[in-house]
Amino acid sequence: MLKLLIILGCTSLKLVFARIAINPSNCFAMLDDKCPNPNITFWLYQSSNPGGIEFTEDYNFMPTRKLHVLIHGFVGDRNASPNLQVRPALLRDYNVDVLSVDFANLVVDPCYREAVHNSHFVGRCLAHLLVRSGANISDTHLIGFGLGAHVAGFAAKMLAALNIQVKRITALDPAKPLFLTNRIEDRLDKGDAGFVDVIHSDVFLHGLMSPIGHVDFFPNKGVMQPDCGPISQLTTYECYHRRSADYFAESLTTSVGFYGFRCKDMLSFITNECQPSPQVEALGYYAKSTARGSYYLGTNDQSPYASGINFNNLDRTMLGKTFLGDALIKELYYFADRKQ
């Protein structure tokens, strides 16, 4: 089984690195760890100012307002995922501050190796800003997408070195390439905050398959998401990846909610070893801080995606669902049969 998981991980990594084998001249790895840094900017949004203003350490946060920090991923900026989906939903509340981190120059395509290196520096400068600007970190919520999920982890590790704990980190399909490691100092880990919740939406290409939070949610097995396109197209998997932010944003406003039931792992789910039970948890903004384990759920085929506590039409099949090919997926079922 371990060998198969390694094959699955390496296969997806090869597809990603096929795009970044040759680095152009605009790729650079940061060497100066001083903060503030001109390549890392911060933008404050409020309901009264949805257009945002650039925020520096000369300003101070209001301790009475809940602070959410949005952190984009590879080839992103302050208006890309998760900002695009999540910021408008958060700003429906007049009592919150939304801080968007922008480090677009450090994560340009196809400079992924440099982006991973730079993500540590971004985390450092985010931690620096939060401390210098008087943020109530014990009540701060970091929300990172893809590579940004690990930036959140790096910021939290820096704060932990100062004996300050972040209240919550939400990881939206945390990036897999170059983060597939057991060294928790090199990636996001559940020990980075009081509560770490994770939404996995593209586990075979962009995102990690392994649970790394206090609670991990796998909508549609975390393998494929509806209405994204044919499995032969790379844009389809980019849609799967971004869908984690769509689900989180919808969780802020849905009246029915996204609910999953607990299952040990994907293998147990696809082989029907685990069945729906009263032990359900809500995915997204309203996830309970006491939730623990891995949870599986289905969604509607189109927006709105939330289907409430509804496990009648769960798709547990894998054949014909991924770019990996059915021969490799059959190996997964083979290992499942041997385990039983």
The DSSP line for 237-269 is HHHHHHHHHHHHHHHTT-SS-BEEEE-S-HHHH
Which pLDDT value is given to residue 327? 62
**CA-wise closest residue to 243 among 329, 310, 306:** 306
> 325 falls in which pLDDT band (50, 70, 90)?
low
Nearest to 78 by CA among 97, 51, 118: 51
pLDDT band at 68 (very low <50, low <70, confident <90, very high): very high
DSSP designation for 210? S
* CATH code of the domain containing 184: 3.40.50.1820
Domains identified in the chain, total number? 1
Average pLDDT of span 14-26: 51
Q: Please report which helix (H) or strand (E) contains residue 87, including its range.
A: helix 83-90
Looking at residue 23, its pLDDT comes to 54
Q: Is the pLDDT of residue 203 over 50?
A: yes
> CA distances (Å), 100 to each of 83, 142, 143, 198, 321, in order?
7, 10, 10, 19, 35
- What is the pLDDT, as a whole number, of residue 33? 84
Cβ–Cβ < 8 Å for 9, 332: no
Range of the structural domain that residue 328 is part of: 2-22+29-339
Give the per-residue pLDDT at 222.
Answer: 96
**With DSSP H G I counted as helix, E B as strand and the rest as coil, what are the percentages for the chain, rounded to 5?**
35, 20, 50
Tokens of 333: 């079922």
With a cut of 90, say whether residue 19 has pLDDT above it: no
Q: Is the dihedral of CA 25, 117, 73, 6 positive or negative?
A: positive
- How big is the CA angle at 57 (ends 52 and 58), to the nearest 5 degrees? 90
C-beta neighbour count of 133 within 10 angstroms: 18
Residue 132 has pLDDT above 60, yes or no: yes
Query: Does 303 score more than 90 pLDDT?
Result: yes
- With 90 as the cut, is the pLDDT of residue 3 above it? no
Q: What is the CA radius of gyration of the chain?
A: 19
